[in-house]
Amino acid sequence: MIIYDKMILLYSFRGDKVHLYIIKSLIDIAELIIFLLGVYYLCIAVFSLFAGARHSNRKDTFRFIAIIPAHNEAETIGGVIASIRSTDYPQELIKILVVADGCTDATISIANKNGAEVFIREKSTTKGDALTEVFRHIKGKYDYDVAAVFDADNIVDKNFFSEVCERMTLGKDVVQGYIDSKNPDRSWVSYAYSIWYWIYNRVSQSGRARLNLGCRICGTGFAVKREVLDTVEWNTTTTAEDCEYTYMLAENGIKVDFCESAVVYDEKPVCFKESVLQRTRWVQGICDVQGEYTLRLLKRFKINAVLGLWGDFLNVFCFVFLFVSYIFKIGDIWQTIAGGIVLWVYITAYVLSVLIAMLKDKKFNKKIILNLLGYMIYISSWVPIGIMGIFGKRKEWYHTKHSDAV
C-alpha cells in the first residue's frame, strides 16, 4: 500500500512537471509570435527612413474639388479657404465647397464672402454622414478629377495640391497628406498630440508607403480620385469614418498612399478633458471598424490591411509586452544570452528609428524633452480611454470648438 501511494505521488509530480512544461512552452510560443509581430512593425519604422518615392517627368494636372465640412466654424472657415487660395496650384482648377453642417453662426456668410460654394445640411449628425451626403450631391453635378477633404480649422500648405497631383500622376488613386500641428505650443496636451502625430506620420504612414502596404486616411488632408468614389462610394456609418473608408477601399484592393510633402496644419485639443472625449469617441469608432472588417479582410487574405487596422494597438503592445517580459523574466526565451541580445537589438532599433525619424523631420528639439512627461501622461491615458471606449456607452458625435486661426 505504501509503495502504491509513492507511485501515485511520483506520477502526480511528473504530471505537474508536464503541465508546467506545456504552460511554459505556450508562453514561449506566444512571446515568439508577439516578437515576430513587433519585427513586422519595426521593419515599417526602419523603411520609413529610406528615401521617398520617385518623381514623375509628366506634368499632368487634375481638377480638384476641395470639400470642407463645417459646423459653426465662423472663426476658422475664412482661414482654411484663404490658405487653399494661396496654394501654388492653378486656382482655376480648384473649386471650394463648404458643407455647412447644421450651422447656426456666420459660417455660411463668411464662406460665401470668401468665394466658396456652400452645401447646406439642415441638421448636423456626424462628419461621416456629411461626407456621404456631399459626395452623393457632387456626383454627376460637378466636373472634377479629385476630391480633397479638409477640416474647417486647417491651414493648407502652399504645395499641397501640386504634391498630391505629383503622386496621382504616378498612378496613386488615394493620397493622404502629412497632418502637422498648427498649435503645438498652446498646452502640454496639444504638444503631446503633436508629438504623437509627428511619430505616426513618419514611423507608420511613411514606412507603409515605402513598402507599398497601404496607409490610412486620417480624417483630413486626403484626396480621392473621382473614379474611386464612383467605384467605392463613401457610405460610412461609424464615428471613425476615415478609418472605415480606408478599409472599405482595402477590401476592394485599393491602397492609400502617403505624401509627406503634402502638408496640412491641424488644430489639436488644448485641454485634457476635451482630449479624453475626442479619443474615447475615436476608440469606439475604431472598435466598430475592427469588429466589422477584421474577418472580412482575413477572408480575402488582406493580412497587411488587418495588421494596419490593428496597428495602433499592436505596435505599442508588442514593444511594451516584450520589454516587460524581459524585465520580469516572463518565459524562457529572453533569459538566454542569444534571446536577450535579439530582444535588445529589437528595442534599440525601434527607439533609434523613432529618434532618427524625428531628427530627419526636424521635429526633435529641447521642447520635446521638456514636454516628455506630458507625452508619457498622454500615452498612458490611452489605457483607461481604451477601456472606456471598448466597454463604455457609445457616444454620439459632438462638435469640437476651434479658435486657432493663423
Whole-structure pTM value? 0.90
Q: What is the pLDDT of residue 400?
A: 63
At the fourth CATH level, which superfamily is domain 64-269?
Answer: Spore Coat Polysaccharide Biosynthesis Protein SpsA; Chain A (3.90.550.10)
**Model pLDDT for residues 359-377, shown as the tens digit of each residue:** 988 898 888 988 999 999 9
Which residues fall within 8 angstroms of residue 68, CB to CB, at 6 or more apart? Answer: 77, 80, 81, 96, 97, 98, 99, 116, 149, 150, 151, 152
Enter the C-alpha cell of residue 398: 459632438
- CB-based contact 202:361 (threshold 8 Å): yes
Q: How many CB atoms lie within 10 A of CB 142?
A: 14
**Model pLDDT for residues 216-252, shown as the tens digit of each residue:** 999 999 999 999 999 999 999 999 999 999 999 999 9
**Model pLDDT for residues 224-234, shown as the tens digit of each residue:** 999 999 999 99
Q: What is the pLDDT of residue 396?
A: 59
Enter the C-alpha cell of residue 280: 474615447
Candidate from 44-58, 141-155, 284-298, 339-353 with smallest mean pLDDT: 44-58
Distance CA 44, CA 224 (A): 24
More confident residue, 272 or 401: 272
Enter the C-alpha cell of residue 390: 471598448
Res. 202: pLDDT tops 90: no
> What is the amino acid identity at position 289?
V
**Model pLDDT for residues 115-138, shown as the tens digit of each residue:** 999 999 998 888 999 999 999 999
Q: What is the pLDDT of residue 309?
A: 96
* 238 to 37, 180, 306: CA distances (angstroms): 28, 25, 18
Name the pLDDT band for 157 (thresholds 50, 70, 90): very high
- CB-based contact 403:291 (threshold 8 Å): no
Res. 1: pLDDT tops 80: no
Res. 106: pLDDT tops 60: yes
Name the pLDDT band for 2 (thresholds 50, 70, 90): very low
In this structure, what is the dihedral angle of CA atoms 198, 202, 203, 205, given to the nearest 10 degrees? 110
Enter the C-alpha cell of residue 73: 466654424
Candidate from 37-51, 57-71, 191-205, 385-399 with smallest mean pLDDT: 385-399
Q: What is the pLDDT of residue 403?
A: 61
Q: Average pLDDT for residues 3-24, to the nearest whole number?
A: 58
Q: Average pLDDT for residues 307-311, to the nearest whole number?
A: 96
Res. 148: pLDDT tops 50: yes
Res. 113: pLDDT tops 90: yes
- CB-based contact 47:212 (threshold 8 Å): no
The closest alpha carbon to 318, from 43, 50, 48, belongs to 43
Residue with cell 533569459: 335
Q: Average pLDDT for residues 303-317, to the nearest whole number?
A: 94
Phi, psi angles (nearest 5°) of residue 382: -65, -25
Residue 28 burial (10 A CB sphere; 0-12, 13-18, 19+): middle
The torsion region of residue 114 among left (phi > 0), alpha (psi -120 to 50) and beta comes to: alpha
Res. 15: pLDDT tops 80: no
Beta strand spans in 73-199 (E): 94-101, 117-121, 146-149, 155-156, 174-181
> What is the amino acid identity at position 98?
V
pLDDT, averaged across the chain: 89
Q: Average pLDDT for residues 313-321, to the nearest whole number?
A: 92
Enter the C-alpha cell of residue 177: 497628406
Q: Average pLDDT for residues 73-86, to the nearest whole number?
A: 96
Name the pLDDT band for 3 (thresholds 50, 70, 90): very low
Give kind and range of the element (H or E) at residue 256: strand 256-266
Which runs of consecutive H residues, i.e. helices, occur in 219-371?
226-231, 241-251, 272-299, 303-309, 311-327, 337-360, 366-370
- CB-based contact 233:251 (threshold 8 Å): no
